[in-house]
């Protein structure tokens, strides 16, 4: 009896053991299925950039439309790689030394692989390729890149209505290393060039050019376009235009006007456009800046966008020359009324519409007037909350020969004398079309890197 009971117990134990082993094998199989079977092997060593001669198989798992997929998404459906979320590693973890990217020709590139059987988790989202870089589109109210469509009912050229892509939100990842310092990308925007209306990458310097106040214009009555001692709102001969495109562009010391008529010395030896940037050909010099004005800041962002590109400016019979609504290197006159092609390049100031479209809140763009923008500052990176200084803009006020628009320290649009000294002067420029984004996540610690590619 005792022996029989022992045998029965032994059988039960063996059954339990076999069942346990089967469960372990099943769980292990599921684990390996989840960790490898759902990954796709892409055998193309041209895609792999590492320090070992034969990196072996790299496994890719593709995530989009809410779940894991067996294949890479079709680029024609508007997917780009979310590089911040995607990662690679040997054991399924995140190896920070490995970088993965997805190019416009639907090629996956992996840099920094040192071990065989590396697994990459690739997350694809809806986005757009900007100068060779796949950038996700943001959802409403979030920081990131937005599509901007212009109705442009008052614009004569329909090309102004082309879709633009602009960064918006409190602090989007639009930092770029340019001129050996941090700038930020306003967006891929429509601009008039010598070849017509094109799309160019528009940058703004992240910091002010000087930690001092500067005047937009302080010319005395009878000098250039000034009708009084309050300066002029004509950008084509303003002192700030000459400062930016003269001593700032050439990174030299020279006269600049602060809050009085007597010129003082501004030294841009360390913060001007350096010689390497100029010689490299990054900056577009075929830009025609639109100088159309507005009657007041009591307008929506879309309305002032049209007005900036319109043909209305303040004109007075006594002005030395008719004021133009466009300014370029080819038609600019200096303070004495003479054309000086060698001085002028393509540096200016942001438009009021640049400020408006930098907001990620739909109501701030569609229903909030720019003179009531104080409630919209927390979702606008151009407000610059860390440096709440007044910021000059490019657009003149129609009703006066010496008023221009600016952003106040409270965040709303305001018109002010050009002679008034405002602190936060940020130059704006466009890049040539053959400049590409080659690396970086766009964060302040890992900014986009640029390269000029010869066609």
> Is 43 a residue whose pLDDT tops 50?
no
Q: Residue 129 class from Cβ within 10 Å (0-12 exposed, 13-18 middle, 19+ buried)? A: middle
pLDDT for res 203: 98
Q: Average pLDDT for residues 439-448, to the nearest whole number?
A: 95
Q: Render pLDDT for 410-436 as a digit per residue (tens, 0 to 9).
A: 899 988 887 777 667 889 999 999 999
Q: Average pLDDT for residues 219-227, to the nearest whole number?
A: 82
CA distance 352 to 218: 22
> Is 248 a residue whose pLDDT tops 80?
yes
8 Å CB contact between 251 and 260: no
8 Å CB contact between 122 and 58: no
The domain ranges of the chain are 40-136, 204-430
Q: Render pLDDT for 168-196 as a digit per residue (tens, 0 to 9).
A: 999 999 999 999 999 999 999 999 998 99
> Is 264 a residue whose pLDDT tops 70?
no
Find, among 153, 429, 124, 397, the residue nearest to 272 by Cα: 429
pLDDT > 90 in the chain, percent: 40
Q: Render pLDDT for 119-131 as a digit per residue (tens, 0 to 9).
A: 889 999 999 999 9
pLDDT for res 358: 97
Q: Average pLDDT for residues 281-287, to the nearest whole number?
A: 92
The whole model's pTM is what?
0.85
């Amino acid at each position: 009896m005792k022996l029989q009971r022992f045998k029965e117990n032994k059988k039960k134990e063996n059954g339990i053991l076999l069942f346990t082993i089967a469960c372990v094998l099943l769980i292990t199989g599921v684990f390996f299925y989840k960790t490898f079977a759902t990954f796709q092997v892409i055998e193309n060593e041209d895609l792999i950039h590492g320090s070992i001669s034969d990196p072996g198989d790299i496994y890719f798992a593709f995530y989009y439309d809410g779940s894991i997929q067996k294949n890479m998404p079709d680029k024609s459906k508007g997917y780009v790689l979310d590089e911040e979320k995607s990662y690679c590693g040997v054991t399924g973890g995140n190896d920070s030394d490995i970088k993965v990217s997805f190019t416009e020709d639907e090629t996956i590139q992996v840099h920094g692989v040192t071990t065989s059987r590396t697994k990459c988790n690739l997350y694809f989202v809806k986005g757009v390729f900007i100068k060779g870089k796949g950038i996700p589109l943001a959802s409403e109210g979030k920081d990131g890149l937005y599509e901007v469509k212009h109705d442009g009912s008052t614009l004569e050229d329909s090309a102004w209505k082309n879709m633009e892509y602009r960064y918006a939100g409190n602090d989007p990842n639009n930092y770029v290393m340019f001129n050996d310092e941090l700038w930020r990308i306003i967006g891929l925007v429509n601009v008039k060039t010598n070849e017509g209306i094109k799309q160019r990458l528009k940058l703004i310097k992240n910091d002010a050019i000087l930690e001092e106040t500067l005047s937009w214009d302080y010319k005395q009555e009878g000098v250039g376009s000034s009708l009084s001692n309050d300066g002029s709102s004509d950008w084509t001969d303003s002192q700030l235009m000459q400062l930016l495109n003269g001593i700032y562009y050439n990174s030299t010391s020279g006269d600049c006007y602060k809050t009085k008529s007597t010129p003082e010395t501004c030294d841009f030896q360390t913060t001007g456009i350096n010689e390497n940037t100029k010689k490299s050909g990054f900056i577009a010099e075929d830009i025609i800046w639109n100088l159309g004005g507005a009657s007041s800041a009591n307008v929506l962002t879309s309305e002032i966008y049209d007005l900036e590109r319109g043909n209305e400016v303040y004109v007075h019979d006594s002005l030395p020359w008719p004021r133009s609504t466009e300014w370029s290197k080819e038609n600019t006159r200096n303070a004495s009324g003479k054309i000086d092609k060698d001085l002028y390049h393509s540096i200016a100031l942001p438009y009021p519409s640049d400020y408006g479209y930098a907001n990620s809140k739909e109501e701030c763009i569609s229903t909030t007037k720019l003179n009531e923008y104080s409630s919209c500052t927390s979702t606008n990176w151009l407000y610059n909350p860390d440096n709440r200084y007044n910021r000059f803009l490019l657009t003149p006020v129609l009703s006066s020969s010496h008023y221009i628009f600016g952003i106040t320290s409270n965040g709303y649009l305001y018109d002010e004398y050009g002679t008034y000294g405002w602190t936060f002067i940020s130059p704006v420029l466009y890049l040539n079309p053959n400049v590409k984004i080659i690396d970086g996540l766009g964060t302040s610690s890992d900014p986009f890197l640029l390269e000029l590619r010869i066609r």
